[in-house]
């Protein structure tokens, strides 16, 4: 049964129930003005499940069966997956000019430089990191690079693993790099195997205690993520990133994000870039 206009309304109580559940699962803090966003994002799930109201959908999501089959899809529907190749170019200029020359140096050993794109969305960020690393290695061969790319969204990860994008998604990539790292098809491009092999994709919820399993990263990207979290969640996440980074490792945030005022031992390097001290 299709939803009618009157049935599509979400009560304030229902919004608060969804808001609390989303926070519990993802730590995304939805402010009151996000009610319309939640309604619009979840309307598709109601249609696909042939449900008449948000109240019925909530009851299903919190049921034993719903938690197993639908909860992840609900969080997926709410998650924002806005990204692009070479987003925030100044950070990649910093990688090219300051980070790669040091980290790729064979004097540091032969082990791979380990990078984590911790909210990789549909893959544009980790593939851009991989392109940057491969270009640096072409200029000055050195240590190999290994990239872990993770997200909470199953649908975003499916796109990322496939590495297939509409042509307009790669319009900002310099032509020479586009030819090097992508295969062109009918209105679409596909990431070449050389680039795809650098990256391992995995589903990771940043709300989980990932620092117990993940260690020894040289670089962590967490861009345009913490703006959706409250201050407590932000500080908890930064503490976990601090643990998984090696001394001297770098943390990259989004251009509008800062650690200013947080209880953290990271050192400021430049706007949205921080470093774990080599000694304490």
Q: Which residues are catalytic?
A: 41, 151
> How far apart (Å, rounded) are the C-alpha atoms in residues 14 and 58?
8
Half-sphere exposure of 83 (CA within 13 A, CB side): 26
> How far apart (Å, rounded) are the C-alpha atoms in residues 103 and 217?
11
């Amino acid at each position: 049964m299709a939803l009618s206009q009157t049935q599509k309304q979400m009560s304030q109580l229902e919004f608060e129930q969804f808001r609390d559940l989303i926070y519990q699962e993802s730590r995304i803090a939805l402010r009151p003005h996000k009610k319309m966003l939640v309604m619009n994002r979840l309307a598709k799930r109601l249609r696909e499940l042939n449900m008449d109201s948000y109240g019925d959908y909530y009851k299903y999501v919190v049921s034993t069966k719903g938690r197993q089959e639908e909860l992840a899809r609900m969080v997926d529907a709410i998650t924002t997956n806005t990204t692009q190749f070479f987003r925030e170019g100044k950070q990649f200029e910093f990688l090219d000019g300051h980070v790669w020359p040091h980290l790729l140096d064979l004097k540091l050993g032969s082990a791979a430089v380990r990078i984590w794109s911790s909210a990789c969305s549909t893959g544009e960020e980790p593939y851009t990191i991989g392109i940057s690393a491969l270009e640096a290695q072409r200029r000055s061969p050195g240590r190999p690079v290994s990239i872990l790319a993770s997200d909470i969204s199953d649908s975003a990860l499916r796109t990322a693993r496939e590495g297939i994008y509409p042509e307009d998604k790669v319009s900002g990539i310099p032509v020479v790099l586009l030819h090097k790292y992508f295969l062109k098809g009918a209105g679409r491009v596909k990431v070449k195997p050389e680039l795809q092999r650098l990256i391992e994709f995995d589903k990771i919820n940043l709300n989980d205690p990932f620092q117990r399993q993940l260690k020894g990263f040289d670089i962590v990207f967490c861009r345009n993520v913490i703006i959706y979290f409250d201050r407590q969640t932000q500080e908890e996440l930064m503490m976990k990133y601090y643990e998984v980074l090696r001394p001297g490792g770098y943390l990259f945030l989004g251009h509008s994000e800062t650690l200013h005022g947080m209880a953290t031992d990271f050192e400021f390097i430049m706007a949205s870039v921080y470093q774990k001290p080599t000694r304490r």
